[in-house]
Amino acid sequence: MKQAAELLPGTLDLLVLRTLTRGQQHGYGIAQHLKERTSGVLQVGESSLYPALQRLLLAGYVESEWGASENNRRARFYTITPAGRKQLAAERKEFDRVVEAIRLALA
């Protein structure tokens, strides 16, 4: 497994929202998904994940409801909202812009 890398500041919200466009998910599931998707490079710590989810709830980008997990345990599922999708698009654009600028500067 590759070394886990530091999450770029400010990108956690972006990643969570993107994950949720794939469908409803609970907190653990989001973390697992990111780990698998990036082959272990991005490992979201619980201590940053849950506050981030609360922030997204406050902003109205996600909604939550309690349901049953795969193994029939009670878990809290998050869904992205239309406002969240809009925000995702905006943040993605911004992220691309910054990354491109860095690339240019490094070239």
Partner 1 sequence: MKDAIADALSRAIRRFVHLVRFRARATDLENELAFHREQIARELITRGVPHADVPSEVRRRMGNETFMREEARGVWLWPTVESLWQDVRVALRGLGRSPGFTLVVTLTLALGVGANAAVFSVLSTVMLRPLPFSNPDRVVMIWERDRTTGRLFGVTPADFADWRGRTRMVSSIAALDPFPTVTLTGAGAAERLAAAAVSAELFSVLGVKPVVGRQFVASDQMHGGDHIVMLGHDVWRTRFGGDSNVVGRTITLSNTPYKVVGVLPASIGVIGKPSDYYGRTKFDVWIPLRYDPQLLPKLRGTHPLRVFARLSVNRTIADARSEMDGIATALEAIHPETNEDRGTEVVSLADQVFGSARRPLFILSGAAILVFAIACANVVALLLGRATKRTREIAVRIALGAGRRRVVRQLVTEGIVMSSIGSAAGVCVAWGLIGALRRLIPVNLPFAQNVAIDGRVLTAALVVAVATGVLFGIAPLVLSRHKEMQQALRAGARSAGTNTGGAQRVFVVGQLAFALTLLVGAGLATKSLLQLMAVDPGFKSDHVLTARISLAGDSRYETSAQAEDFFRELVERVERVPMADEVAVAAHLPLSGSDNSWGYQLEGWPKDDSQNAKYRPVGTRYFETVGIPLRSGRTFTNADRADASRVVVINESLARVITNSTGAASAIGKRVRMLDPTMEWRTVVGVVADVRHFALDQPALPELYLPLGQTPFPVHDAFLTIRTRGEPTAIVEAMRRTVAALSPDKAVFDVQTMEQRVSASAGDARFRATLLGLFAILALVIATVGVFGVMAYIVGQRTRELGIRLAIGARPVELVNHVMRDAAVTVAIGVSLGLGGAWTLGRVLASFLFNVAAFDGAIVLSVASILAASSLVAAWVPARRLIKLSPIAVLQDN
Residues that bind partner 1 (CB under 8 A): 26-28, 45-48, 50-51, 54-55, 57-60, 69, 71, 73-76
Nearer to partner 1, 28 or 97 (CB): 28
Question: Cβ of residue 13: shortest distance to partner 1, in angstroms?
Answer: 12
Write the single-letter amino acid at 14.
L
Nearer to partner 1, 15 or 26 (CB): 26
* Dist CA 91 CA 87 (whole Å): 6
* Dist CA 14 CA 93 (whole Å): 11
Question: Cβ of residue 8: shortest distance to partner 1, in angstroms?
Answer: 19
Question: Cβ of residue 60: shortest distance to partner 1, in angstroms?
Answer: 6
- DSSP per-residue codes, 2-56: PPPBPPPTT-HHHHHHHHHHTS-EEHHHHHHHHHHHTTTSB---HHHHHHHHHHH
Nearer to partner 1, 59 or 99 (CB): 59
Question: Cβ of residue 18: shortest distance to partner 1, in angstroms?
Answer: 20
